[in-house]
Amino acid sequence: MSSLQPSNDQDLQRELQATLAARHELGPEYDEHFINQLTERLTQQVREELAKAPKPRRAPLGPEQRLPIAICSLIFGIPLVAIAAATAGTTGLVVAFLALILINIAAGISW
């Protein structure tokens, strides 16, 4: 994880010093309250840092994963194209071919 920004780090340090000073004045019976406040502040800061962090990209499909998609496209594509051509004519044929092509292209793209 990246290091904290200087202003956030300084704010946190000042808040921790104020918490310790208040603890010395009020005594140990408020320790749980101080710990909860500090925990909330740290949790908030971690969430802010995570929100700023770049999102990981999904790995593209490898050749061993694209091959089954291509084989299934052939196996299911032949009857699909035949049914589409018989039912909707040339339009159905074109739509079925385009669907098969787009499925295989989408399988090869890393999103």
- pLDDT at residue 1, as a whole number: 41
What is the tens place of the pLDDT at every residue in 45-94? 888 888 888 877 766 777 788 888 888 988 999 999 999 999 999 999 99
The answer to whether the beta carbons of residues 108 and 66 sit under 8 Å apart is yes
Q: What is the mean pLDDT of the chain?
A: 81
State how far the alpha carbon of 100 is from the alpha carbons of 17, 79, 97, in Å.
64, 12, 5
**The pair of three-digit structure tokens given for residue 54, joined into one six-digit string:** 């770049």
Q: Where are the domains of the chain?
A: 6-52, 59-111
How many Å apart are CA 20 and CA 54, to the nearest integer? 35
How many Å apart are CA 105 and CA 111, to the nearest integer? 12
The answer to whether the beta carbons of residues 58 and 111 sit under 8 Å apart is yes
Give residue 6's pLDDT band: very low, low, confident or very high (50, 70, 90). low
Residue 9 has pLDDT above 80, yes or no: no
What is the tens place of the pLDDT at every residue in 28-52? 777 787 778 878 888 888 888 888 8
